Copies of this chain bind each other. A is one copy, B any other.
Amino acid sequence: MPGPVGEIDTNRSVCFNGLVPPTRRPQARAQRTRQQIIEAAATAFAARGFEGVALNDIVRASGLTKGAFYFHFASKEELALAAFRAKQEELLGHLTGERALAGTGAGQGAGALEALAALLRRRAELLAADPSLRCVTRLGGDLMTRHGPGSEFEEFQELALDLIAGLLARGQREGCIRRDLPPRQTAETIFAAIIGIDQLSQLVSHGEDLPQRTGELLGLLIPALAAPAATAADLPRNRHYQ
């Protein structure tokens, strides 16, 4: 059962290959080394994608011997999954930690539809501001086509899907979101649309126009999700709604 964002253990299959160092101190040092490798790899994958990164370059930059490196990550695929997961958790951790979920500084009372809009806008801002976070969009796009049903990468998507589905269900209880929409399937459609704008933005502008595309997506999503009873005054403000 997954815990809350930020507490999820990602070491299941990609860390240490089942070998446990004998004492605590080496373990702590190994953990730091692992984090440093992941950080460097995330920045490289975010800039050049899966194919554009040579594992040998990451090994060389780590300052480790090949043997020591492979103790942490047995393959580029393992390293890519770990880098994606770390940056996905970091991005979602920022979003939930900043209480964007509760609306733009307006507390829980702001409504789930406003919270969802604020979440997507803030996501685009964070991705624009921190190049290493674009590991989630650029490397995520590559991994999306490399993995299939039943894969660990497929399971990684649950974190984002749970977040969106939870907001939709909350909005339905509050009355601001259409009750005829099944939260889980609708979350998958919204998530797919986000993946799509990530990739189109990467193709046409190296990701730079993501904040604008996010605004345009919200211009369609908000009226699509809003319950019929919601008046114009209840709708989140957006450039299509000002």
- A residues sitting closer than 8 Å to B (CB atoms) are 49-51, 138, 141-142, 144-149, 151, 153-154, 157, 180-181, 185-186, 188-197, 199-200, 202-206, 213, 216-217, 219-221, 223-225, 240
- 7 residue pairs of the A-B complex, CB under 8 angstroms, read A144-B200, A147-B203, A181-B220, A189-B220, A196-B197, A220-B221, A221-B224
Whether B154 lies near A204 (C-beta < 8 A) is yes
A180-B240, A193-B193 are known contacts. Are A203 and B142 too (CB-CB below 8 A)? no
- Say yes or no: A153-B203 contact (C-beta < 8 A), given A141-B145, A145-B145, A240-B181: yes
A51-B146, A224-B224 given; A200·B180 CB < 8 A:
no
Among B188, B213, B223, which residue has its beta carbon within 8 angstroms of that of A223? B223
Q: Given A145-B138, A206-B149 in contact, is the A192-B193 Cβ separation under 8 Å? A: yes
A240 and B188 alpha carbons, distance in the complex (Å): 16
Give min CB distance, A188 to chain B, whole Å.
Answer: 6
Residue of B nearest to A52 (CB): B146
Bound CA–CA A151/B141 (angstroms): 18
* Alpha-carbon distance A136/B132, docked complex (angstroms): 30
Q: Which of B145, B149, B216, B225 contacts A188 (CB 8 A)?
A: B216
